[in-house]
Amino acid sequence: MKPCKMKKHLISVHPEKKDKPFEFFQKLRDTFQKRTTLAHMVRERPQRLDNGIVASYKVSKIIAKTGNAHSIGESLILPAVSIIISDVMKLAPEETVQAIPLSNSTVCRRIDEMAGDIEGQLICLLKSRSFSLQLDETTLQDSDALLMAYVRFFNAKELVEEMLFARRIRTDTKGATIFEEIRGYFEENGIPMENIIACATDGVASLVGQYRGFISYLKAVIPSVFTIHCIVHREHFVSKKLALRLNHSLSLVIQVVNFIKSHALQNRLFRQLCEENGEDFDTLLLHTEVRWLSKGNCLQRFVALWDSIVAFMSDKDFGEKLIDAKAGIFYLADIFQKLNLLNKALQGKDSDLISSKSAVVSFVKKLELYLHNLGRREFSQFPNLKAIAGILKDEDILAYVSHLKQVIEDMKERFCDLLNLDIPCWILDPFGVPAVEVHPEIQELIELQSDVIARHAFGQFGRGFGSMMIC
């Protein structure tokens, strides 16, 4: 509005204010601008709702990662938030709690949406880069087969490992079926099969069969693909092979543990005995074949509670059998502890062929040392055997030496590819090896060694260049 018209309006409509000072009109303007309007009220409410929805997604993610029931959001988390707001912050919690939707169906929907979004982002990355693939097949409680696929690839100078999918296979688990499942998923999502540069499997016939296994079908499509049997799975096969005498000792341990753990009364009585004896533990650990570390953990706990177990089973059928098998049980506890350490060394997110080769070579050399020392009754590497050295007979030592020889032979046979793997020095230290010592075809290494930026990046990211998925 023009100033002249505004002045005319002031004099004719608001004559009582025409002589007011300039500051009066400034204050009037500020008050007018700060007034509560319908638009302001509508704008604030969605902002609070948006914050509540963001919080709902974040809480749903936590629920999914912890493996809790989806109903925990409404039954536990929201009531807890309400108490914290009212008692600690001294505020009314109703409005905040109502703005965070966490019902059972909402949490389920949020998790599905986030999972779909993550899968979509992963698929976009895999479309444009090479990656390693790992497959694992297992059976669920309802007898359905579950096929799981994991991928490893470089993204922004970082080595990334993610689960690609987990799918039920309703029919058989033959190599052709698994291959069609993989190819169908890749075609459905537009991922080129040629992007697979390496594939790791668990070694079952349906996956590694020479003619009808998944690997044979994969190599028909990608002849250059590098394939490997899961390193950890091979180690598990080595640990399973026991001579008849040692297998009897292990079976006896499992029988005693099951006898105590499967009866509530026996379990309570045994716990009371352990407390009276001042034991560090008051319960035994169960062993199951699907938990590869459980055998060693079960044996270690069994040996730790040996005196209480013998006293508890003295009037049972197992009493005399335990005394006769004591040496074998103590030896198994020692050797399986070492096998567990190897198993853990082969695991981990940053595991690769280089670190796995180092762990396997080191373990084989240690076994050869253990074999030599055990043959001359040197038990420093076997603490449990050392504690009962006085009762060990020559036939016991011969049995354990024979088992160690068997483990060494099995390790060398199952890991022959890894033991014979030649890792070029320029992979481990591309900036330290002289260029004249490498193959003529890769002597452009000089350009890399002269790149100051690349040298700095190698110092930051270290040994990431030679990584390869193993399991």
**Can you say whether the dihedral through the CA atoms of 341, 343, 349, 350 is positive or negative?**
positive
**Can you say whether the dihedral through the CA atoms of 269, 274, 275, 277 is positive or negative?**
positive
Answer whether residue 120 is part of any domain: no
Both 43 and 19 in one domain: the answer is no
Q: Which helix (H) or strand (E) holds 258?
A: helix 244-261
By the 10 Å C-beta count (0-12 exposed, 13-18 middle, 19+ buried), 360 is classed as: buried
Range of the domain at 445: 425-461
Answer whether residue 121 is part of any domain: no
Residue 377's region, left for phi above 0, alpha for psi from -120 to 50, else beta, is: left
78-82-87 Cα angle (round to 5)? 150
**Can you say whether the dihedral through the CA atoms of 376, 378, 382, 384 is positive or negative?**
positive
Both 166 and 77 in one domain: the answer is no
Both 17 and 44 in one domain: the answer is no
DSSP string, 364-432: HHHHHHHHHHHHTT--TT-HHHHHTGGG--HHHHHHHHHHHHHHHHHHHHHTHHHHT----HHHH-TTT
Answer whether residue 281 is part of any domain: yes
Both 22 and 95 in one domain: the answer is no
- Of the residues 69, 84, 112, the one at which a domain ends: 112
Which residues lie closer than 8 Å to 340 by C-beta, 6 or more apart?
A: 293, 296, 297
In CATH, what number is assigned to the domain containing residue 173? 3.30.420.40
- Of the residues 193, 210, 229, the one at which a domain ends: 229
Residues pairing with 311 in the sheet: none
By the 10 Å C-beta count (0-12 exposed, 13-18 middle, 19+ buried), 363 is classed as: buried
Residue 14, pLDDT score:
79
Both 320 and 354 in one domain: the answer is yes
- Name the 3-class secondary structure at 153: strand
Please say whether the beta carbons of 352 and 152 come within 8 A. no
Answer whether residue 81 is part of any domain: yes
- Provide the number of structural domains found in the chain: 5
Both 411 and 319 in one domain: the answer is yes
Both 276 and 390 in one domain: the answer is yes
In degrees and rounded to multiples of 5, residue 263 shows phi and psi of -120, 120
Gap between the Cα atoms of 182 and 147, Å rounded = 9
Of the candidates 263, 305, 313, the residue with the CA atom closest to the CA atom of residue 282: 305
Residue 37, pLDDT score:
55
Both 174 and 192 in one domain: the answer is yes
Answer whether residue 24 is part of any domain: yes
Both 217 and 305 in one domain: the answer is no
**Can you say whether the dihedral through the CA atoms of 155, 183, 202, 291 is positive or negative?**
positive
Answer whether residue 299 is part of any domain: yes
- Of the residues 207, 229, 251, the one at which a domain ends: 229
**pLDDT tens digit at each of 471 positions of the chain:** 566 677 777 778 778 777 778 787 778 777 777 765 544 544 555 555 578 888 899 999 999 989 899 999 989 999 998 999 898 888 888 888 888 889 999 999 999 999 889 899 999 999 999 999 998 888 777 778 888 999 999 887 788 889 999 888 878 888 888 899 999 999 999 999 999 999 988 766 667 666 678 888 999 999 999 988 888 888 888 888 888 999 999 999 999 999 999 889 989 999 999 998 888 888 888 877 767 788 889 999 999 999 999 999 887 778 788 889 999 999 999 999 999 999 988 887 777 888 889 999 999 999 999 999 998 999 999 999 999 988 999 999 999 999 999 999 999 998 998 888 888 777 777 777 777 767 766 667 777 777 777 777 776 655 444 443 343
Both 285 and 373 in one domain: the answer is yes
Kindly give the residue spans of alpha helices, DSSP state H, lying in 104-192.
104-126, 175-189
CA distances from 358 to 41, 183, 234, 311 (A): 66, 35, 16, 44
Answer whether residue 118 is part of any domain: no
Answer whether residue 259 is part of any domain: yes
Both 369 and 407 in one domain: the answer is yes
Residue 304, pLDDT score:
93
Both 399 and 452 in one domain: the answer is no
